[in-house]
Amino acid sequence: MKKQYEPKTEAQKVGYLVEECGEVQAAIGKTIRWGWESVNPELPPEQQETNRDWVLRELKDLKGAIRIVEEMLNQRGETHHRLDGAEDDSDRRHP
Q: Is residue 64 part of a domain?
A: yes
Residue 61 lies in a domain: yes
Q: Is the residue at 22 inside a domain?
A: yes
Q: DSSP for 23-90?
A: HHHHHHHHHHHH-TT---TTS-GGG---HHHHHHHHHHHHHHHHHHHHHHHHHHTT--B-TTS-B--S
Q: In a structure prediction context, what are the per-residue pLDDT tens digits for the chain, which is 95 residues long? A: 788 999 999 999 999 999 999 999 999 999 999 999 999 999 999 999 999 999 999 999 999 999 999 999 998 765 556 666 666 555 566 66
Q: How many domains does the chain have?
A: 1
Q: Which domain holds residue 69?
A: 9-37+47-76
Is residue 60 a part of any domain in this protein? yes
Q: Kindly state whether residue 30 falls inside one of the protein's structural domains.
A: yes
- Domain annotation covers residue 4: no
Residue 62 within a domain: yes
CA angle 56/64/16 to nearest 5° reads 105
